Amino acid sequence: MLGDVTGERRLTSFSHGAGCACKLGPNDLTEVLGLVGAPAPSAEVLVAADTGDDAAVYLLPEGRALVATLDFFTPIVDDPRDWGRVAAANALSDVYAMGGRPVLALNIAAWPVDELPLELLAEVLRGGEEVAAAAGAVVVGGHTITDPEPKYGMVALGFADPARIVRNSTAPPDAALFLTKPIGTGIVATAIKRGVAEPALVRAAVELMTTLNAGAAEAMLEAGAEAATDVTGFGLLGHLHRMLRASGVAARLDAGAVPVLGGVLELARRGVVPGGTERNLAYVRPSLDEEGMPEPELLVLADAQTSGGLLIATSAPERLAEALERRGVPYARVGETIAGEPGRIAVEGRPGS
């Protein structure tokens, strides 16, 4: 195990927050972006920061669309290669969420060179290259700095058909909502950091987080889905809220249909919850209509995910279901968009029920 390799400390003990839970909360991010302001994009910019979408999209002279994104975070697991694999899958997911195909990646790494051997950093990078290769993308370099807290991620670039870009801001009313991965990885990561995670749950979470969203992206394009986003640091509730607000619609969420990793709800009831998840719930709570749902259940729905699934809005649910099944992509139909106050979410049922 990594604790034996380092001689003293587990990799997750170096991080203040695990995975995407270490990111700025949605309220803080909104405040910062408001202070900075957004420059008027050129006509070639098809998707910018105004809708809080997963990636930027730029129209190239030959007619293809360039999808550009980046993502990095602190250690989420103690195995360095698994951390690299998770971080790469997470960064590439933003390209898939836009309906793109990853082709190129650059590493971003920060490393405590006086406390952790460089061989471990090499393992992290190998893990990232492994997943990038599985996605058909080439890692062509990157940038590293020394830092007391290790961090790793990627710039991910891909191509897409400009006429088939899938945005988070185009969900119509009366569209079915599909989710392609269970939630709960933020809580699992916190359990790992605290040393209370069961090995089987860790293995299940790593398997989930290293699974690419390639098949889900292909299926949503084939089915002509109207909108999508990937579920990462803002949690299911946060990303759904942002999609709804950008699209000008509301939603009903069937919490009982939301897939949750086994054991996660029990951990939430024990208070094993990342700070990022708590910030997510505080952000979205004013937009929730829920009938006295207990706090642990709400926290699971708001859990800060790393390399989560795609949340897809479609007016052709049977067609999307068939496309997902044909590719062997698990999914759950978790609700529907409705006309109403933009961003409002009516939560029905309870997760894990």
Q: What angle do CA 218, 220, 226 make, to 5 degrees?
A: 145
CB 298 within 8 Å of CB 245: no
Catalytic residue among 2, 11, 18, 20: 20
Residue 330, Cβ density class (10 Å: 0-12 exposed, 13-18 middle, ≥19 buried)? middle
Distance in angstroms between the alpha carbons of the first and the last residue of the chain: 36
Q: Which residue blocks in the chain are alpha helix, DSSP H?
A: 2-6, 26-36, 80-97, 118-134, 185-194, 199-209, 214-223, 235-247, 264-269, 275-284, 295-301, 317-326
Residue 229: how many other CB atoms lie within 10 Å = 28
Sign of CA dihedral 31, 284, 317, 210: positive
**CA–CA dist 308, 285 (Å, integer):** 21
**CA–CA dist 188, 100 (Å, integer):** 29
Q: Is 20 noted as a catalytic residue in this protein?
A: yes
**CA–CA dist 100, 67 (Å, integer):** 7
Residue 142: how many other CB atoms lie within 10 Å = 16
- Residues assigned a catalytic role: 20
